[in-house]
Structure 1
């Protein structure tokens, strides 16, 4: 979002005009920012055979998936339903990596029948694949490298106590199952979490995978997952993707020479591609002055953006309606009936009832983690593409809240008696 003569714009479109046209609260995504991030990743790994697999769980709207496909990005899914959305967006099954965690064998079978690339993250699943498919289904194996780096523990996935992946200490067990059933291993995968500031975590993971690769002579790819740190506020230390590209590419090229042929290098960015593109626009309902705090209460809450309450995450907030107002300090809170805080002691241009605020960096895990808690509607979504805003998800209605509920006629007599009394 750019400031131009005190007007907030996305691709030259006034954000307040978008709010007026589509209503509030509203998620707005900037396609140019997504395309910019894809280009940065490609240029940073220009020296290797790179394949980008968008981690769709970050933002699963079909229009966003179509944008990724248009840009030559493939897809990573964690459920069959995500994969089906990808196929609806035009991805072929072979372009979709399926990385489940503890799902039923029924879902695994469905994924295989669809033709997805299966990523195996447990020994029981590896054995099940061998027993049921033998060498017929090429798989990738997700390794837990016992590397503890990154941000919030809730998004750290590569440490020894994590539920994700097969422990590197079980290397011999993996190989024994693969040999017993002649399983075709096409790739090795690692994802140690999010918010890595430099290449160290990736290079540590690379050492693990490169060493493990000697057990599997027919690999076609190595998958490093993701974990690039993005900026949520001014001064944040972010991942230097260009430097990461130089270091990891050099290590990968050296590995390929030793392995004897060139493999594909895969990454699965989610937050990195869509976070900065997203803005959650909300309206100020009331400004409530207490003896110790001044609260700005908005028409949204943790049901729309749960990250501040779940991860203690920071989101920059802009007062779009009054950007030149004198600075005051506020607690910005939502309308959910429990502690529901977006920001504490946040300096903002004076906020008045009716002002439109924008929560920045809301593209990743915003709408995709939203809910109908307190029987609230989820917001609409808009994509700004080539200078024009497009509605890509309608605002929910009361009928949406009732969809799927069954009004069984088992209380009618009791209710009739009560009404007569």
Structure 2
């Protein structure tokens, strides 16, 4: 298509073409007619461009980019990153199963999470994953037992809690001493010495992840200094660390947010790593939201507009089971009509059909809409479908992956039969 485009701010692969909202070269209203609503639509090129910024940042380095798949674990999305050479950061046995289902290399898998079960450890060892990010001293003991019973040695790094404020929402902060994640900074050296004595473990690295939706470089720099100090202290005891894992957490633009570009951020971080004398180590990172967040939109139909004395409501067919971030984090996501009207906008609270007052998608949004119109909730590629539920016995939405002018259904809409299949009546 050669029609003039109107780009949406912060959304290089989402634009209006002759007034119609498109993802890459595919009109969203056509996809809604074909697949119904709510509907998630993702831009493959946006994902690859986001990944390319990290790849530029690490050019010439011994580095492994592991996609943090909790952000979006749909198989069609995982295949994009597997084909691009990424590893994967997993937090459950189920996520490992998804990685293997798309043919990814298990040796590029990092297993994070505070509550790994013995069964999950055994599954990961059998698959041959690259490394366990151990999050407590108790986990060291259990993993050692599981590895010895399997006749293997588990490759490990220990996740450190550096007590650094990521300046983000408290629910997605993970590097403060009041958070559940990682081993306390002042217990790190002793934990490594203990791990090195356990016969079922092979100590290979160190790990740190301080939070999500981080929009400043300073928390990363603060955490890096603390981690490199620990590397020096650990290696002074005779334990060699082959890799340094700095986690992920880089934010995206939801509403005028200005996180540093991935390549610019890593230019700063690598300069500090080199200055400290660790430029020869393998580096690992685990980006999630920054690779998929702005790649996705959720298309929804306006069911009703409901005027009120204090509030006007725009009721759409997407709900908190599809888009949980506003209810969980009071998060902001832009909401735009697919085909704007030429009338006067009114202020609406955009809400879903679920029987909860917390079922809202946006507060006080200026919209000119009527029943039957379609709207797009932007920045819906991360922590939407992966957190979706069947609350109110609602089926999970369909998903489409767009590549240029081609649109592929990567998840069909969930039916009631799908939901009931695993249930049975008692007696």
- Equivalent positions of 1:401-420 (< 5 A) are 401-408=419-426, 410=427
Over residues 189-225 of structure 1, what are the superposed CA-to-partner deviations in whole Å (9 max), with x where a residue is unaligned?
1000012222211111111221222314432211111
SS for the counterpart of 1:83 is helix
Q: Which has the larger radius of gyration?
A: 1
Q: Check conservation: 2:341, 2:369, Cα contact below 8 A.
A: no
CA gap 1:219/1:323 in 2 versus in 1, 3 angstroms: farther
- Equivalent positions of 1:130-149 (< 5 A) are 130-133=144-147, 136-149=153-166
The correspondence for 2:252, drawn from 222, 230, 233, is: 230
Over residues 53-86 of structure 1, what are the superposed CA-to-partner deviations in whole Å (9 max), with x where a residue is unaligned?
0001111111111110111111110001101110
Which residue matches 1:125?
139
Q: Which runs of 5+ in 1 are unaligned?
A: 411-421
2:291 aligned with 1:250, yes or no? Answer: no
User: Hey, what's the Cα distance between the residues in 1 that align with 2:47 and 2:343?
Assistant: 31
Q: Check conservation: 1:19, 1:281, Cα contact below 8 A.
A: yes
| Cα distance, 1:50 vs structure 2 | 2.5
Which residue matches 2:209?
191
Which residue matches 2:7?
none
SS for the counterpart of 1:253 is helix
- Equivalent positions of 1:204-243 (< 5 A) are 204-214=222-232, 215-216=234-235, 217-233=239-255, 235-243=256-264
User: Hey, what's the Cα distance between the residues in 1 that align with 2:226 and 2:145?
Assistant: 27
| Cα distance, 1:100 vs structure 2 | 2.3
Q: Check conservation: 1:198, 1:244, Cα contact below 8 A.
A: no
For the aligned residue pairs, the C-alpha RMSD in angstroms reads: 1.7
Q: Check conservation: 1:287, 1:297, Cα contact below 8 A.
A: yes
2:349 aligned with 1:327, yes or no? Answer: no
- Equivalent positions of 1:13-412 (< 5 A) are 13-116=26-129, 117-133=131-147, 136-181=153-198, 183-214=201-232, 215-216=234-235, 217-233=239-255, 235-255=256-276, 258-259=277-278, 262-339=280-357, 340-348=359-367, 350-408=368-426, 410=427
**TM-score normalized by the length of structure 2:** 0.91
Q: Which runs of 5+ in 2 are unaligned?
A: 1-13
Q: Check conservation: 2:196, 2:202, Cα contact below 8 A.
A: no
Q: Which moved more, 1:281-290 or 1:326-335?
A: 326-335
Q: Check conservation: 2:174, 2:210, Cα contact below 8 A.
A: yes
**TM-score normalized by the length of structure 1:** 0.92
User: Hey, what's the Cα distance between the residues in 2 that align with 1:175 and 1:295?
Assistant: 56
| Cα distance, 1:401 vs structure 2 | 1.8
Over residues 142-184 of structure 1, what are the superposed CA-to-partner deviations in whole Å (9 max), with x where a residue is unaligned?
1111112231100000001111011111124303312432542
User: Hey, what's the Cα distance between the residues in 2 that align with 1:389 and 1:399?
Assistant: 26
SS for the counterpart of 1:138 is strand
User: Hey, what's the Cα distance between the residues in 2 that align with 1:324 and 1:254?
Assistant: 58
Q: Check conservation: 2:335, 2:377, Cα contact below 8 A.
A: yes
Q: Check conservation: 2:16, 2:22, Cα contact below 8 A.
A: yes
Over residues 298-331 of structure 1, what are the superposed CA-to-partner deviations in whole Å (9 max), with x where a residue is unaligned?
1121011110010000000011133544322111
